[in-house]
Amino acid sequence: MAKTFFIDTSRCTACRGCQVACKEWQGFEANYTKQLGWGSHQNPQDLNPLNFKLVRFNEFKDKDRVIWNFFPDQCRHCTEPPCKLAADGEVKGAVVVDKATGAVIFTEKTKKISKEGFLMMKEYCPYNIPRRNEKSGIINKCDMCLERVEKDLLPMCVKTCPTGAMNFGDRDKMLALAYERLAIVKKEFPDAALLDVDSVRVVYLITHKRDMYHNLAMLDENSKTGALA
Amino acid sequence: MKVTRRELLKVAGAGAGALALGGLGVSYLVTESYAKDLKIKGAKEVRSICPFCAVSCRFIAHVKGGKVVSTEGDPGYPISEGALCAKGATMNSMVNSTHRVLKPMYRAPFSENWEEKSWSWMIEKLARKIKDTRDKTFTVKNAEGQVVNRLETMFHMGSSQMSNEEASIVVQAQRALGLVYMDHQARI
Amino acid sequence: MTNSWIDIKNTDCCLIIGSNAAEHHPICFKWVLKAKEERGAKIIHVDPKFSRTSARSDFHVPLRSGTDIAFMGGMIKYVLDKELYFKEYVNDYTNASYIVNPKFSFNNGVFSGYNPQTKIYDKSSWQFEKDEKGAVKRDPSLKNPNCVFQLLKKHYSRYDLSKVSSITGVSTENLVKVYEAYAATGKRDKAGTILYALGWTQHTVGVQNIRTSGIIQLLLGNAGVAGGGVNALRGEPNVQGTTDHAILYNILPGYLPLPRANAQTLADYNKATTPKTVLAESINWWGNRPKYMVSFLKAYFGKNATKENDFGYAWLGKGDVPKSERDGDYSFLYCYEKMMKGEMKGGSIWAHNPCQSIPNSNNIRKALTNLEFMYSAEIHHNETTDFWHSPGIDPKKVKTEVFLFPSCHRLEKEGSISSSQRMIGWHYQAAKPSGKSKAMGQIMIEIMNEVIDLYKKEGGVFKEPIVNLNWYKKYDADVVAKRISGWFTGGPNKGKQLSGFADFKDDGTTASLMWLAAGSVTEEENRLKRTSLAQTPLQKKVGIFPNYAWTWPMNRWILYNRASVDKNGQPWDPSRTIIRWDGAKWEGDVADGGQPPLSKEGGKNPFIMLPDGLGQLYGTGLVDGPFPEHYEPTETPVTNHGFSGQLRNPCAKIVPGDKIAPAGDPKYPIVLTTYSLTEHWCGGSETRMVPALLEAEPQLYVEMSHELAKEKGIKNGDPVILESIRGEVEAVAMVTVRIVPFKVQGKTVHLVGMPFAFGWTKPGIGDATNRLTLYTGDPNTSIPEYKACQVNIRKADKVTELSYEEIKVEEHHG
C-alpha cells in the first residue's frame, strides 16, 4: 500500500534529531555554515544536496505572546510529481515513482539532466525541493529511506523523532491520524490546518496561519515569507 | 506553454491531475522497486547508551567487520522508545571521528609541540612524578595540629563521562593517594 | 529526580523552571506532551528566555535571571493566603507542627546566628524545641507562633504580588496565572511536578531555589506521588552515577560525608554523622550509616581492613572542619584559586574541559601554567589539554608537563551508566578501542599499579592506603559492578553477593563500593543488564518498568512513595496508584521500606531519609537559612531589592581574586545568562567535531531583544563584543522576539543569553563565553553563578575569534 508521512508540527520541539539522523544515515558530509551575517538557528540556511531534511524556524510576536514555529521541511513525494513531468521531458528514468510506496525517487540518471532541465524541475516543484550536487551532477532530495521501508523499518527521520511529530505508514492510516490530530489541535489553535493533503505523501499539520511559516510551506500563492530568526 | 509549479499542483490537487498531466502528454514510468542495499544488512547489533544528557537514551550500533557502520535509537528502551535528538543521532560520526586522540601524547616543559610516546614511557614517568610529589608535599597535620594525612598539592578534576565502574576506580585511586581537591561536572 | 522520566506523563501541571527541558533533555519532552494531550495537563515554562521548551508550553513567563526565590516565595504566600494547601498531607507528613526555638529570628534579611567575620551561621537558635524524652514539641493546631507553619507564613508574608513583580520583572497577571494553575494541584486527586536543572543550581542561592520547590511540593501534597516530585533533570550522563560514586570533595561514595579532622576514629565519625530519632514511627534510614561506612572501608581495603585497625578509617585523608566560608572546601573554586597562587603541584583533568566550562576561564587558563604537571585522558584535544598554547599564552614560557592519554569512546568499552531517574543500565562494547586508546578505567588502573609498585619497592610517606588497597590488575566492568553492589566478606555467605540493604553489617562481614547500588548485581544475575518490559497492570498504568535495568535504591522508581498514600496505605488518588497496602504488604512500586502504613501497628512516616520521617517545610540542614530568602545575584543591576536590607546572600562563597562589578554598575548594565543548546554538549569539545552538529550550530551567538539591539545600533548577524569586569568575548548578534526587556523597579533592564560550547581549538567559531562569568559560589554546594552576571555589549569593528569565512568541518568518515 502507498505510504504517507504525517508531520505534526504541533508536537515538534525542533530538536533536529530528524535533520541530523537523515544526514547520518545518508552518510553526507557537512556544509560550511556560519552565523555572521545570518544570526539564526536555522542552519544550514536552506535545503541543499547534503541536507534532505531541514528544520525551519519562524518567529513572531503577537502582542505579548511569542510564537515560534518549527517546520521540518522535506520533499513532499507528490502523488503526481511535477518534477517528474519536467524530468521526463529530458531523461526518462531520471525521476521514478516506486510502485509499492509511491516514493518519488531521483536516480543516477539525473546526472544527464541539463542545466535548463534542472531549472525546470525546480520551477515545477511547488516546494522548491530539488537540489543538484555540483560535484557529482546528481540531482537529489529525500528518498523516503526506501531501502529501510522495504525492510519494514521506518524512515530515519521518523524513527528518530522523540515526540510523535514525524509519523509514517500506510496512507489511509496516516490520513486518519492527520484528521484526528487536526480536530484536537484546532481546539488550542483555531488556525490549525493540514497542508495540501490530496496532492502529497508528506502531510503537514500546522498550528498557525500559513504565512507564519516559510514561504514555500504550502501551495498558497499569496503566502508571505515569514521573518527568519 | 508555460506552466508554473503552483498552477500544476493546484490542478493536480483539485483531483483532475491525471487528466491535466495526460493532457500535457506525459506518462508515468513506474518501477517495480527502487531501493538501495540496506547498509546495516547482516550487521551485528550492539546496545549502548548515549553519552549526552541523563535521559540516557539507548541506541543500537550496527557493526560490520569490527567497525561501527551505523547507529540508531533502541526501540526497546521504554523511555525513548527508539528516538534520539540531534546529538544522539550522531554516534556513528562520533566514534569514527578522525579528529580523535589515538596515541599517548606528551608535552615537555616549555615545548611548543606534542610528542608521541609509548604507553609504558608515559605511565612510568607519570607514576614517578605522582610519587615524588606526594612524598615531598604530603600533609600529616593541619594548622590546628589535627592529624589529616592528606595530599593538598594535587587535584583530580574528573568526569561525568565515565561509567560507574570507571568512576569508582578513579575515586578509589585518588582517595588512596590522599587527595581532597576532587571535583567534576556535577557543579557545571 | 525523585520520580521518573515516564512519570511526567502522570502530571496535571508541569512547572518547568530553571530548565529548558525540550532543548537539553529533548527526549523527555514526549512525556511532557503526553501529559498535555492525555491528561489535559498545563505546561508552564518560567525562564528568562523564550526557548523551544516555551514554544511547546501552554505559556511562557519571562523572569529576570536570579529572582526565582522571589517568584516561588510569592507562590508560597499565595498558597498559604488562599489556603490551597493539602491539609491532611501537611498535617500528617510534614513538620508544619514542629515548634522552633523561640530564640530563632529573622531580621532585615539575615537569620539569627550569623557571624559576619566567618560568613557562617551558628545554627543553635534554628533548632527545634524538644521535650524531656528528646522528641520535638508539636502543635497540631498549627497556631503556636513558633511552629513551623506560622513561621513559614510570617516569612513569606513579605512576598506580595507587587513586590515580587517589581523585582522579577514578571507582570502581576502572569504571576497570578502561574500561581493559580500550579496551586490547583494542591487537591487530593491532583498532582503537579517541578522540573528544574542548572537554571536553578547555578546561582549563589542555588540550593535555596530548590528548597522553594520542596516547600511548595510539600504544601500541595505533590512529593512522593505519581506525576509529582522534585525533579532535577541531571545533565551529563553519567553525572548521576559519578555523583553517587563521589568524584566530589565533600562526600565518599553513597553520600557518606567526607571524614573531617575532628573525627579521628571511626567511632567519632559514626557519632558525628549518624542521625538519631526518638520517634518509633520513623525509619531514620541514615541510622544505618555505620554499616555503610564499614562496608565501604572493607571494599576499599579488603582483608587489610580489620576491626583492630578501625577498618582502615585512619588511611582516609581528612578535611578541615568548615569554620569559615572556605575552610574545608576543596571544590574546584578553591582548587583553581590555590593553583593561581602556585600552591598546586600537579593533578589530573579527565574528560573535562575547565578552560572552557569554568567561570572566569581566562584565570583558569593562566592557573594551569603554574602547575608542574598535568595528566589527562581525552577523546579529543580541547582547550584544556592544549591550554599551554591558548591565545595569548606563549608556550615557551609554560613549564607544565602534560601527559595526554587517549581515551576510547563509550562504544569501545562496556560498563554501566545511571540516568537522571537513578536507573543504572549497561552499555556493551561494539568495537575495539580505536588506535592506541584505552578505557579511562584501564588507564587509571595502570597508573595506580605503577604507583603501588613504587611504594612497595621503595616505601614512602604514609604508604598504608596505597599498599593496602583492594585493587585491580586490569579493568573488567563486570568485576567492578559486583564490588559496587557488594559482597559478604565473612559469615556463612562469605564470597557471595549481597542481595540488598538488609544484608549490610557494621562488623566487617560485608563490603560495597557504593551501598545505594546494593542488590544490583546479585548471585544470580547482573540486573543492570536486564531489558524486560514486563509489568503488572498497576505498574503499566503509571509507567513503571521494574524489570528493565535496575534503579537505585532497591529498584524503587518513585522516591518517598509512602507519601502517595494516606495513613491507611490507600492512595490519595486511586487513578494514579504507585503503591497500595493490601492489608499485609505493599503492591505496585517498591515501597520506601516494607513497614506498614502509618496508622497500622509498626507503621512509619514517609520521608525515610530524614531523622523523624517528616517533610521539612523548615529545615536546619542548609548553611544559609532554614527558609529560602530572596537575595540578588552577586552581580546585579539593582542596588536594593525591597525584601530586606541584605542585598546578596550573606554566605555566598566569594573567592579572593575574582573581580566583581558593584551592584547597579552603569558600566555593566545588562544581565547575562548562559546556557547550553541541543546541538552541542557542555563545553562542546566533542560535538564541535561532529560535522552535522557544527553545521547546525556553527558559531558563538548572543541572543538579545530587538529593543536592546536598536539601542546599541546592532543588527541581526552583526559581530559584537561583550564585556564584563573579567573579560571580553566576541559573538554574533541574534536579535529575537524571544528575549524581552524586563521592567524592574519601574526601569528597563535588558538581558542577553549565550551558549558556552564554542572554543578556540576549533578556529573561527568563537571562544569561551565563560571568560565573562563570575566565580562566586553557592554556600552549600560551591556551584558558581553561571546564570547571572553583568555585562555590556557593543558592535564590533573587527573580529579575530569569529571567522567570516564559512567554517570548515571535519570530513565525514561514518
Confidence class of residue A229 from pLDDT cuts 50, 70 and 90? very low
In angstroms, the CA C385 to CA C374 distance is: 9
Q: Does B70 touch chain C (CB under 8 A)?
A: yes
Name the strand (E) or helix (H) holding C121. Answer: strand C120-121
Burial C411-424 (b: 16+ CB within 10 A, else e): bbbbbbbbbbbbbb
Q: What residue type is assigned to position C153 of the chain? A: K
Q: Reduce the DSSP state of residue B121 to 3 states and report it.
A: helix
In angstroms, the CA A49 to CA C216 distance is: 52
Q: Does B63 touch chain C (CB under 8 A)?
A: yes
Backbone angles phi, psi at A49, to 5 degrees: -60, -15
In angstroms, the CA A16 to CA A24 distance is: 12
Per-residue confidence (pLDDT) for residue A223, from 0 to 100: 38
Residue whose grid cell is 579572593: C656
The answer to whether C440 and C407 have CB atoms below 8 angstroms apart is yes
Mutation pick from A22, A26, A35 vs chain C, by most beta carbons of C within 10 Å, is: A35
Q: Reduce the DSSP state of residue A130 to 3 states and report it.
A: coil
Per-residue confidence (pLDDT) for residue C593, from 0 to 100: 87
Confidence class of residue B188 from pLDDT cuts 50, 70 and 90? confident
Is B13's pLDDT higher than 50?
no
Per-residue confidence (pLDDT) for residue A219, from 0 to 100: 62
Helices C68-81, C161-168: inter-axial angle, 10-degree rounding: 160
Question: A160 to chain C, minimum CA–CA distance in Å?
Answer: 10
Q: What residue type is assigned to position C91 of the chain? A: N
The answer to whether C364 and C756 have CB atoms below 8 angstroms apart is no
Per-residue confidence (pLDDT) for residue B25, from 0 to 100: 35
Q: Where are the alpha helices (DSSP H) in chain A?
A: 17-26, 82-88, 115-124, 146-150, 156-160, 171-188
DSSP code for C1: -
Mean pLDDT over A192-197 rounds to: 96
Chains that touch A (3 or more CB pairs under 8 A): B, C
Confidence class of residue C235 from pLDDT cuts 50, 70 and 90? confident
Cα A83 from chain centre:
14
Chains that touch B (3 or more CB pairs under 8 A): A, C
In angstroms, the CA C338 to CA C38 distance is: 54
Name the strand (E) or helix (H) holding B63. Answer: strand B58-64
Residue whose grid cell is 529501510: A148
Contact at CB, B54 and C319, closer than 8 angstroms: no
Mean pLDDT over A21-42 rounds to: 95
Number of C-beta neighbours around residue C455 at 10 A: 23
Per-residue confidence (pLDDT) for residue B144, from 0 to 100: 96
Q: Which residues of A touch B12 (CB under 8 A)?
A: 78-80, 82, 199
Per-residue confidence (pLDDT) for residue B32, from 0 to 100: 46
Q: Which domains does chain B show, CATH number per domain? A: 5-36 (no CATH), 44-95 (3.30.200.210), 138-187 (no CATH)
Q: Residue A181's closest chain C neighbor by CA?
A: C37
In angstroms, the CA C486 to CA C519 distance is: 8
Which comes out higher in pLDDT, residue B11 or A101?
A101
pLDDT tens for each residue of B159-173 = 999 999 999 999 999
Q: Reduce the DSSP state of residue C657 to 3 states and report it.
A: coil
For C746-763, give the secondary structure using H, E and C: CEEECEEEEECCCCCCCC
Q: Which residues of C touch B150 (CB under 8 A)?
A: 317-319
The answer to whether A77 and A53 have CB atoms below 8 angstroms apart is no
In angstroms, the CA C446 to CA C529 distance is: 27
Contact at CB, B29 and A159, closer than 8 angstroms: no
Share of chain A above pLDDT 70, in %: 94
Mean pLDDT over B113-122 rounds to: 98
Share of chain C above pLDDT 70, in %: 99
* Cell numbers linked to C340: 593561581
Is C559's pLDDT higher than 80?
yes
Rg (CA), chain B: 30
Mean pLDDT over B47-66 rounds to: 96
Number of C-beta neighbours around residue A37 at 10 A: 12
Share of chain A above pLDDT 90, in %: 90
Q: Reduce the DSSP state of residue C528 to 3 states and report it.
A: helix
Long-range pairs, B19-22, Cβ under 8 A, ≥24: B21/A80, B21/A85
The answer to whether C509 and C541 have CB atoms below 8 angstroms apart is no
Per-residue confidence (pLDDT) for residue B34, from 0 to 100: 61
Contact at CB, B46 and C411, closer than 8 angstroms: yes
Question: A18 to chain B, minimum CA–CA distance in Å?
Answer: 7
Cis status, amide bond into C719, omega within 30 of 0: no
Name the strand (E) or helix (H) holding B156. Answer: strand B147-157
In angstroms, the CA C463 to CA C456 distance is: 8
Averaged pLDDT of chain C: 96
Chains that touch C (3 or more CB pairs under 8 A): A, B
Mutation pick from B34, B38, B64, B87 vs chain A, by most beta carbons of A within 10 Å, is: B34
Question: A24 to chain B, minimum CA–CA distance in Å?
Answer: 7
Residue C452: HSE in the Cβ half-sphere, 13 Å Cα cutoff: 19
Contact at CB, A85 and B24, closer than 8 angstroms: yes
In angstroms, the CA C723 to CA C773 distance is: 10
pLDDT tens for each residue of C455-493 = 999 999 999 999 999 999 999 999 999 999 999 999 999
For B9, which of A82, A105, A149 is closest by C-beta distance?
Answer: A82
In angstroms, the CA A51 to CA A14 distance is: 16
Number of C-beta neighbours around residue A183 at 10 A: 10
In angstroms, the CA C779 to CA C653 distance is: 6
Mean pLDDT over C251-274 rounds to: 98
Per-residue confidence (pLDDT) for residue A218, from 0 to 100: 63
In angstroms, the CA C408 to CA C414 distance is: 11
In angstroms, the CA C423 to CA C414 distance is: 16
Maximal CA-CA distance, chain C: 79
Residue whose grid cell is 557543579: B187
The answer to whether C370 and C343 have CB atoms below 8 angstroms apart is no
* Cell numbers linked to C312: 582502615
CB-based contacts of C256, cutoff 8 Å, min separation 6: C273, C289, C292, C293, C296
Q: Which domains does chain A show, CATH number per domain? A: 82-143 (3.30.70.20)
Q: Does C33 touch chain A (CB under 8 A)?
A: yes
Distances (CA, A) of A108 to A75, A85, A139, A148, C352: 18, 17, 8, 19, 46
Q: Reduce the DSSP state of residue C538 to 3 states and report it.
A: helix
Number of C-beta neighbours around residue A56 at 10 A: 22
Mean pLDDT over C356-381 rounds to: 97
Q: Reduce the DSSP state of residue C517 to 3 states and report it.
A: helix
Cα C380 from chain centre:
26
Confidence class of residue B1 from pLDDT cuts 50, 70 and 90? very low
Mean pLDDT over A166-178 rounds to: 98
Rg (CA), chain C: 26
The answer to whether C415 and C426 have CB atoms below 8 angstroms apart is yes
Contact at CB, A124 and B8, closer than 8 angstroms: yes
Contact at CB, B102 and C406, closer than 8 angstroms: yes
In angstroms, the CA B28 to CA B36 distance is: 21
Q: Does A183 touch chain C (CB under 8 A)?
A: no
Residue C370: closest CA among C346, C409, C342: C342
* Cell numbers linked to A200: 502529497
- Alpha carbon dihedral C282, C287, C291, C294, in 10-degree steps, equals 170
Q: Where are the alpha helices (DSSP H) in A48-202?
A: 82-88, 115-124, 146-150, 156-160, 171-188
Triad C440, C444, C446: Cα angle to 5°:
115
Confidence class of residue B12 from pLDDT cuts 50, 70 and 90? very low
Q: Does A48 touch chain C (CB under 8 A)?
A: no
Residue C383: closest CA among C351, C349, C356, C362: C356
Is B28's pLDDT higher than 60?
no
Q: Reduce the DSSP state of residue C173 to 3 states and report it.
A: helix
